[in-house]
Homo-oligomer: A and B are copies of this chain.
C-alpha cells in the first residue's frame, strides 16, 4: 500500500512512518517542521536528541534498506503542492497528523488560539478538498482525540463515535444514532470536533472514505523501529505545553522534581502506548470503510487511569514525591471514564500495558536523557481563562507562604 503521512516528522507521525515502512508499505512524508519551530518559540526541546528529518530518513535507509520520500510544505496553505502530490504519487491512504496537537499551547493566548484554529481546520479541509479534486479513491485516516467526547458526560462507556439516543417523533420515541455530542475541553480539542463535521460532510457529499481515530493520551516514546538506531529516536516532550501527563511524571521522577498533579488528580483519562499508536494506524489502514459508508470512528486507547493513581504508580516505582498544584484548566476535578475500544482489539491489537511498560520507559528514556532536561520548562503556565489565571496565581502564592 502507498501511504502518505502528513505531519510525518512529529511525535506520532515519525514512528508511524517507520512502522508502516517496516511492514512493507511505500511511505512518503509531508511536514513543514512546525513542531520544531514551536520548540524554538517555547525555548523547549525534546528530552531525546532528535535528528533532522533528512538525517532520520537517511538513517532509516541505512538500517532497513527502505526509502521514505519527503516533501516540505504546509498542509492547509499550499493547496496546489498537496493536490499535485496526490495526483503524482497516487497514495492508497493518507494519514493526517498535520495539526497543532497540544491543548495547553492552544490556550496560551489569542495568537495561539488563532493559530490552532487556522492551522487545523484549513489542513483538514484542504486534504478533503484535494482528495475530491484528485478524483482518486483515497482512504483518509485522521488522528482525532478522546477529548472530543468530553469526559464521563453520560455515565456510560463512551462508544466509538456514535451514540444511540431516543428522539421524539409523531409516533413516539424512536432510536437514532447520532455523532456523539461534542464537549471539547480546549481550543485544540474543539478543532477536532469541527474536523468531525468536515469528515461527516465529505463522506456524505462526496463518498470520501474516512477513518477518525479518537486517541487517548500517548505515553512512551520508542517503538521497535525507533530503537534500531540512535538517529531514529522519537521525540519526548516534557514541557508544560506539549508534555503529556505521564511522560511529564516520568521525567520529573528522573530529575528529582515532584510529580505535579493539577487539582485533586481525580481526572480519569484514556491512555495508549506509542507502540500501540503505530500498530493501530496500521490496523485502521487495513480495515478502511467502504465507499459511501459513514465515517468510521475508532477509540484508539487501551487503559483508563486517574491522574493521581498514575502519579502514585510512578512514585512507587521511583520514590518521587507527589505535589498537588492548582489546575490551570477549566475542567471538573473528578470524573469517571469508561471507553469502548472493541474495534481495534477485534482487529488484533495486543496492548502494551502501563504496568508492563513503565519501568522500561523510565530506564530507557527518562533516566538516560535526564541530563538534557531544563527544569524551568516543566510547569504548565497556560491558563484556560481569566478565572483560572487568578485562581492559579492565588493558590500558588498561598502554597509559597
Residues of A within 8 A of B (CB): 79, 83, 110-111, 113-114, 117-118, 121-122, 125-126, 129-130, 132-133, 135, 154-156, 163-170, 173, 176, 178-179, 181-182, 184, 187, 190, 193-194, 197-198, 200-201, 204-207, 330, 384-386
CB A30 to nearest CB in B, in angstroms, measures 17
Q: A154-B169, A194-B198 are in contact. List 20 more A-B contacts (CB 8 A).
A: A110-B132, A110-B133, A114-B122, A114-B129, A117-B125, A118-B118, A118-B125, A155-B169, A156-B169, A165-B165, A165-B178, A166-B167, A166-B173, A179-B182, A182-B197, A190-B201, A194-B197, A205-B330, A205-B385, A206-B385
Task: Specify which chain B residues have a CB less than 8 angstroms from the CB of A155 in the assembled complex.
Answer: 169-170
CB A197 to nearest CB in B, in angstroms, measures 5
Task: Specify which chain B residues have a CB less than 8 angstroms from the CB of A205 in the assembled complex.
Answer: 330, 384-385
The CA of A200 and the CA of B150, in the complex, are separated in Å by 13
The CA of A53 and the CA of B207, in the complex, are separated in Å by 43
The CA of A365 and the CA of B113, in the complex, are separated in Å by 44
Q: Are A206 and B110 in contact (CB under 8 A)?
A: no
Q: Which residue from chain B places its CB closest to the CB of A166 in the assembled complex?
A: B166
Task: Specify which chain B residues have a CB less than 8 angstroms from the CB of A154 in the assembled complex.
Answer: 167-169, 176
Task: Provide the main secondary structure of the chain A interface.
Answer: helix
| Residue from A79, A154, A197, A385 having most chain B Cβ neighbours under 10 A | A197
Task: Specify which chain B residues have a CB less than 8 angstroms from the CB of A173 in the assembled complex.
Answer: 166
Can you sample 29 A-B contacts with CB below 8 Å? Answer: A110-B130, A114-B125, A117-B121, A117-B122, A118-B122, A121-B121, A121-B194, A132-B385, A132-B386, A154-B167, A154-B169, A156-B167, A156-B168, A156-B170, A163-B167, A165-B166, A165-B176, A165-B178, A166-B166, A178-B181, A182-B197, A184-B197, A190-B197, A190-B198, A190-B201, A193-B197, A197-B197, A204-B330, A205-B384
Task: Specify which chain B residues have a CB less than 8 angstroms from the CB of A122 in the assembled complex.
Answer: 114, 117-118
Task: Specify which chain B residues have a CB less than 8 angstroms from the CB of A170 in the assembled complex.
Answer: 155-156
The CA of A86 and the CA of B83, in the complex, are separated in Å by 40
| Residue from A156, A176, A205 having most chain B Cβ neighbours under 10 A | A205
The CA of A168 and the CA of B122, in the complex, are separated in Å by 36
CB A127 to nearest CB in B, in angstroms, measures 11
The CA of A179 and the CA of B184, in the complex, are separated in Å by 13
Task: Specify which chain B residues have a CB less than 8 angstroms from the CB of A182 in the assembled complex.
Answer: 179, 197, 200
Q: Which residue from chain B places its CB closest to the CB of A164 in the assembled complex?
A: B168
Task: Specify which chain B residues have a CB less than 8 angstroms from the CB of A385 in the assembled complex.
Answer: 132, 205-207
Task: Specify which chain B residues have a CB less than 8 angstroms from the CB of A163 in the assembled complex.
Answer: 167
